[in-house]
A and B are shown apart, each in its own frame.
Chain A
Amino acid sequence: MTGVALAATVGALFALGTFLLLRRDLIRVVWGLAIISQAANVYLLAMGGIAPATADSVPILAGHGDHVPQTADPLVQALVLTAIVIGFGMTAFALVLSYRVYEEHDTLDVTELGDRE
């Protein structure tokens, strides 16, 4: 059941992100990118599997005796943390860049930007 819910969430996020990415307003394009990178993060978590962990899937904890706590795959969590940090920084950068585009071109409209050579 969680699998279906996650798949639906990832699909909906990608759909929304793609929709925003195709808008004419640059800010919406940036939001589209942010949502797509979040969708990729949710997808990464789903790829780790949501089932409780065993000593096999949590090798670092396996060395500490019998007490393997019930936990989801820690590797994907580490990956997602890294990806979130990178995505966060890049969203901020893209927003600043779109502000600069606005300063230089006096518009945030994609079609108008394209027309001015």
Chain B
Amino acid sequence: MDISELLTIAEHERTMRRPTCIRCCTALGCQSAGSLSLKQRLEEAVAEVDRTDIEVIGVGCMGMCGHGPLVRVDPDGVLYEHVHAADAPSIVAALDGGDATAPRGDPQHPFFTLQKRIVLENSGIIDPERIESYIAAGGYQALYCVLHDMTPAEVIDVVTRSGLRGRGGAGYPTGLKWATVAKSHGDRKYVVCNADEGDPGAFMDRSIIESDPHKILEGMAIAAYAVGADQGYVYVRAEYPLAIQRLQRAIAQARRLGLLGAQIFDAGFTFRIDIRVGAGAFVCGEETALMASIEGRRGQPRPRPPYPAESGLWGRPTLINNVETFANIPPIIRNGAEWFAAIGAEHSKGTKVFALTGKIRHTGLIEVPMGVTLRQIVEEMGGGVPEGRVKAVQTGGPSGGCIPAALLDTPVDYESLQRVGSIMGSGGMVVMDDATNMVDVAHFYMEFCKDESCGKCIPCRAGTAQMLHMLNLIRSGQATAADLARLEQLCIMVKETSLCGLGQSAPNPVLSTMKYFREEYEAFVRDEGLAG
């Protein structure tokens, strides 16, 4: 494969396109609402009217998942939502005038217009099951450019200057991580894509893989070239069967075209990617536990240092980045560091993908520039809560915290979220209305953390169990004010002494709800005098 062949594939794909394209979402959310049979009916309907100028393609996520299945008819950009298979003939007929029976969506809604799509640039547009579709969208050109025109050091320099920070949650500077792995010595190096997304309410990584799997592979290959690795792993949880299937297909296609494997683009660069399917333990998203799991051992974290950059898989230097981080790489290479650095907030460059869920009118997947406020996301894009008022927004999953409505003007960037007691996390965003009891919310997350604690270190294993027990006491009205103080004390101890990020952040939902909604805890507390 050389560049002319790549461009030929792209050109061929473009000439094969038909004037009218009916795009039907086949990501998991819409599939579960019946989009596969809908797509089939659309194809049949096109065949019935014998129109060769229309094509039906299955695409990835279009964003507004709560309104699925979604269908968009291009080039006009007509959007249909809640489409049933029975609506298919009328959608095809509507191309000749007339009304479709499916409700029309509004592509001019702030949900779409306030987005800035970099990671999701191909999502909902290309067919994730065909590599040609990705290549036609400019895919693998960044990899070619890197292999032929740039040294590994130059690649790292671009990533560093772009200001990209790890999208897995902690926000570590990506360029710095790459540089560290590149400098580490080892007879082999590895690149790992962390696709073990497990936060309740989060589906960003799943959607990205389902919608644009090749982008992850291209990002990983660029990373591998930059740090000097020849083997990559995508660690993805077994609960994501469609993502796994599309990744497998993508890897096979890329290999067939010589875009993965030996001598990629005849540049003397060899890189192979394998999938490792995890059994779905939350803690396996923690990098040291993830590596243990890839090595075939029990998925438990170990103390750091040594960091994976120095001693990772089988003791060799290993680069671990999240799905979204890798997805940012090809656009950064294509458009340059300055382009990326110009987007977003001062210390948080670029965009962030959020899975917007909970008590909100428009749930789904959005990508916004860093620095937009929570209010813009929740009220404008999400359309606010259907009934009542916004009470809080939970960001960062079990590791994050609940931000009260009064702080909705907080900009979404790493530092600002941390200042209000939450974190960016991988990007789950759960909106709660005023019917939500915050003690219940804390209880929900603590139950999750207790179940997902690996059991290795005592503060997390016994601490989360004890915190859950205390929350149960509070909710059943058996706790006293002294118990509240004890709970808080326990939370701080678990936070400061746990071995890994799971334990260190498990108390956050409790601490943040106690900080902002203390009266709800106190309402449960029984009179000290009665307690004896």
Partners in one complex: no
A binding-site residues for B, Cβ under 8 Å: none
